[in-house]
Amino acid sequence: MAKLYFRHGTVGSAKTLNLLAVAHNYRSQGKKVLLMKPNLDTRFGKEWIKSRAGLEMQADVLIVNLESMRGIDYTGIHCVLVDEAQFLSSGVIEELRRVSLDFDIPILCYGLRTDFKSFLFEGSRRLMELADSIEEVKATCHYCNRKSIMNLKHVNGLATNQGPSVDLGAEEKYLPACYRCYTKEIGKGLLSLMQATPSL
């Protein structure tokens, strides 16, 4: 029976590179792969799935909402690969779960586990609840040699945990960090803001 997979990692852990490698392997064997991504991810062009290493492939399906999943033809599809799955709604994740069962197709979802505030994304939470297999794509902290588990956001060069949870960006805005360095950098960012704010 085909499974629903969730492969998660911090920013810079080569999740998308992994996805593209899997797609290449299937296609090199003459097998059909369906590539999906959320419509809101426009960082590298709305229709493109691109890794930081420069490899890219065009998405077959842009997921807007649950309705946009209706009517997809899964005939002859050997594997479905989903990039940036953290941005998907619970309903879309449940639909992917159904597809894996009804069509006996493996569904591999790649994405972040938590936002830069350390909270689970909606899509990630539902995947943690429903996936048959949960795998971590590991990376090291930007500041030390520990394993990264946090996504550290920067605004004007200062680390912050403020702002909306969905705030698109790449390495110019986000860095992978262990929890120790995450809290240290957030503290430094807050201190710098306090020092820069004139007292009344």
> Is 172 a known active-site residue?
no
What are 57's strand-pairing partners?
A: 49
| Of 47, 84, 129, 172, catalytic | 84
| Cα–Cα distance measured from residue 22 to residue 55, given in angstroms and rounded to the nearest whole number | 12
Residue type (1 letter), 84: E
For tokens 């957030």, name the residue.
Answer: 186
CA angle centred on 26, ends 112 and 93, rounded to 5°: 35
Contact of 151 with 118, CB cutoff 8 Å? no
Burial 51-64 (b: 16+ CB within 10 A, else e): beeeeebebbeebe
Annotated catalytic sites, by residue? 84
